[in-house]
Amino acid sequence: MEKRTLITGGAGFLGSHLSEKLVREGHDVICLDNFFTGTKRNVAHLQGKANFELMRHDVTFPLYVEVDRIYNLACPASPIHYQRDPVQTTKTSVHGAINMLGLAKRVKARILQASTSEVYGDPEVHPQPEGYWGRVNTIGPRACYDEGKRCAETLFFDYWRQHQLEIKVMRIFNTYGPRMHPNDGRVVSNFIVQALRGDSITIYGTGAQTRSFCYVDDLIDGMVRLMNSPADFTGPVNIGNPGEFTMLELAEKVLSLTGSRSKLVFEPLPQDDPKQRQPDISLAKQALDWQPKVSLEDGLKETIRYFRDLLGSQ
Ligand code: NAD
Ligand code: UDP
Ligand code: UDP
Question: pLDDT tens, 46-79?
Answer: 999 999 999 999 999 999 999 999 999 999 999 9
Query: Among all ligands shown, which has an atom nearest to the Cα of 247?
Result: 3
264-274 mean pLDDT? 95
* 120 alpha carbon – ligand 2 mean position (Å): 29
SS (H, E, C) the chain: CCCEEEEECCCCHHHHHHHHHHHHCCCEEEEEECCCCCCHHHHHHHCCCCCEEEEECCCCCCCCCCCCEEEECCCCCCHHHHCCCHHHHHHHHHHHHHHHHHHHHHHCCEEEEEEEHHHHECCCCCCECCCCCCECCCCCCCHHHHHHHHHHHHHHHHHHHHHCCCEEEEEECCEECCCCCCCCCCHHHHHHHHHHHCCCEEEECCCCCEEECEEHHHHHHHHHHHHCCCCCCCCCEEECCCCEEEHHHHHHHHHHHHCCCCCEEEECCCCCCCCCCCECCHHHHHHHCCCCCCCHHHHHHHHHHHHHHHHHCC
pLDDT band of residue 313 (cuts 50, 70, 90) is confident
Quote the CA–CA distance of 5 and 209 in Å, as a whole number. 38
285 has a pLDDT exceeding 90? yes
Ligand 1, atom 15, lies closest to the CA of 75
* 263 alpha carbon – ligand 1 mean position (Å): 31
- Percent of the chain clearing pLDDT 90 (strictly above): 98
**CB distance 98 to ligand 2 below 6 Å:** yes
* pLDDT tens-place string over residues 160-215: 999 999 999 999 999 999 999 999 899 999 999 999 999 999 999 999 999 999 99
**Candidates 75, 118, 204, 267: which one to mutate for ligand 3, based on the most atoms within 8 Å of Cβ?**
204
* 78 alpha carbon – ligand 1 mean position (Å): 8
Ligand 3, atom 5, lies closest to the CA of 187
* 104 alpha carbon – ligand 2 mean position (Å): 9
288 has a pLDDT exceeding 80? yes
Q: What is the pLDDT of residue 1?
A: 79
pLDDT band of residue 314 (cuts 50, 70, 90) is low
**CB distance 149 to ligand 3 below 6 Å:** no
